[in-house]
Structure 1
Amino acid sequence: MEIAMQNKIVENLKSFAIALVLALIIRTFLVQSFHIPSGSMIPTLLVGDFILVDKITYHLREPDRGDVVVFHFPLNEDVYYIKRIIGVPGDKVQVIDGKVYINGKPCKYEPGGTYSYTEKGSSYKGRLFYEFLPRKEGGEKKHLILKTGGRGDNTQVFVIPKDKYLMMGDNRNNSYDSRYWGFVDRSKIVGIARIIFFSWDGEKHLPRFNRIFKLIN
């Protein structure tokens, strides 16, 4: 009986060790989960969203305009940020009156309605726009952005060096991004955000069931 019990404990420990190694491999090389703590990516991502980040895709292709990515924040690499890629190596990017210009050409915009939200006790209301970012291999990436004011609406021309990327939040007037602290190195990009696997509304203290398993555009 004692030997059988010892064998069972050993087998359980082996199973636990294998599961732990597999979890570490998955987290290191395949996917990683993150929690969204701020509203800088509203309306695409909300505070309380839990997302999965694909770490494989960028071994097969380079990051492109329009991708939503997680990266190590350049001013403190222990902190992860999530933003949308606006400019890739070789691009010249400028924001004029709230519109993005890439290599001298303005991106296309279409009205998308109104939007309001509350974050940390403050209320915000603004207008939604569909923004069309040109992809490197042709075509466009269509996604929503939110405009709530004029902060960051006019910038210098950013000339993006080799292996660097320019990031901006979809909540354009409430995002601390490349307009303020510069570029992100290719090696610091963790991966591309793919899916929301859970979402918690901190204001209502309830799950947002309509966001669970929602793909990230």
Structure 2
Amino acid sequence: MANQLSKEERRQRREQRRKDQNKQAKSWLREWADALLFAFVAALIIRTFFFEAYRIPTPSMEKTLMTGDFLIVSKMSYGPRTPMVIGIPFTNIYMPGFVLPWVRLPGLGEVERNDIVVFNYPIDLAPVAAKTNYVKRSVGVPGDTLRIDDNQLFVNGDRAQSFPGIQKTYEVQVRNRVRLSAAKVKAAGGTLYRSQQPGRYRINMNDQVAETIRQWPEVTNVELFVLPDGFNEYDRRRFSFSSGFVNHHHLPTTVVPFKGQTVTLTPENYHVYENIITRYEGNNVGRNGDQFTINGEQTNQYTIQQDYYFMMGDNRDNSEDSRFWGFVPQTHVVGKAGMIYFSWDAERWLPRFDRLLNFIHD
């Protein structure tokens, strides 16, 4: 019959349908691939120049930031850095021994005193951007004069501003044959550690909790715990601002280095500036008694090439910070902690719903 299709025509139509189906599938896959590529590039640009996620791994900022908090860090606040290394995006894998020329782009402002800042851990042995991320409070900005007396921080001669999240260790004495309840202390907002002396406890807490516990009938005395000046709590190989060992409850008067500052190097103060001159600003230094040679030139004068910051954790007696390893160079600043977008309580295996989407206030 004339209207009947021949076998060849039917075959050609089936072949055409298969081609059309394959074409539609390829078009669908191409659309998805384009969308995924666009999302990947957009996420990479956002992470590099605008915002980055960060997780709090340690209690050094409690109670301001809790272990298990997930932060959004604003790189725009202080200016994003162009890429420094070549590596696999969204991982810590990078090409060793190869560092890109980089610059810091203009930001919304400078690091201000008491900002909560994410930065690269200065004394890591890696390219700057590949170093571990730390988060602390910038208690000292370039040019500030700091000192710590009996575990109290002073900035430019005045006692440093206090914040509700700042915790310190207090010694609490109770009446004879009375035991202090750890659950009661925890409910008040502190963490109890039993002291070796009977009737005396050490509690990590903020000033407000200390005042509350001071009113308890079983408590006879509450005072700030202070290490004796000169107490060698840590080994002598660690960084020190004073006499070769760390005592984080005492710090002699120290000026936070700033760009353009000229310092006179002596055997007594070289430990303060050694990392700055050699590690962060790339100079070769030799010493012969009280004489210094910098890049082959004999001189005891050095001019600082960039700004530096003094960082401290809000959990003051449970934080390794600038009191232990020195200043943070401006090149190592990543961004400002902006918002807690999620928080996980590992003890209860539950989210901390009251912390979700909380903006971080200095």
Q: Which letter maps to 2:138?
A: I
C-alpha contact (below 8 Å) 1:148/1:173 kept by paired residues? no
The SS at the match of 1:7 is: helix
Q: Does 2:28 match 1:8?
A: yes
Q: 1:89 aligns with which of 142, 150, 153?
A: 142
For residues 150 and 201 of structure 1, the distance between their equivalents in structure 2, rounded to whole angstroms, comes to 31
Relative to structure 1, is the Cα distance of residues 111 and 158 closer, same or farther in structure 2, using a 3 angstrom cutoff? same
TM-score, normalising length: structure 1:
0.83
Q: 1:158 aligns with which of 254, 269, 278?
A: 254
- Give the unaligned 5+ runs of structure 2: 1-20, 79-106, 168-187, 193-201, 209-222, 228-247, 259-306
TM-score, normalising length: structure 2:
0.51
Flag the structure with higher strand content. Answer: 1
**How many pairs are equivalent?**
196
Relative to structure 1, is the Cα distance of residues 108 and 79 closer, same or farther in structure 2, using a 3 angstrom cutoff? closer
Q: Does 2:40 match 1:20?
A: yes
Larger CA deviation: 98-107 vs 11-20: 98-107
For residues 69 and 163 of structure 2, the distance between their equivalents in structure 1, rounded to whole angstroms, comes to 26
User: Which protein has the larger Cα radius of gyration, Structure 1 or Structure 2?
Assistant: 2
Q: 2:50 aligns with which of 18, 30, 33?
A: 30
Q: Which letter maps to 2:149?
A: I
C-alpha contact (below 8 Å) 1:126/1:149 kept by paired residues? no
Q: 2:122 aligns with which of 74, 95, 98?
A: 74
Relative to structure 1, is the Cα distance of residues 13 and 111 closer, same or farther in structure 2, using a 3 angstrom cutoff? closer
- Give the unaligned 5+ runs of structure 1: 119-123, 131-146
Q: 1:61 aligns with which of 106, 109, 112?
A: 109
For residues 6 and 177 of structure 1, the distance between their equivalents in structure 2, rounded to whole angstroms, comes to 55
**Residue of structure 2 equivalent to 1:167:** 311
For residues 320 and 164 of structure 2, the distance between their equivalents in structure 1, rounded to whole angstroms, comes to 24
1:71-150 paired onto structure 2 within 5 Å: 71-76=119-124, 77=128, 78-109=131-162, 115-117=189-191, 125-129=203-207, 149-150=225-226
Q: Does 2:345 match 1:201?
A: yes
Relative to structure 1, is the Cα distance of residues 75 and 109 closer, same or farther in structure 2, using a 3 angstrom cutoff? closer
C-alpha contact (below 8 Å) 1:110/1:129 kept by paired residues? no
Shift of 1:99: 1.8
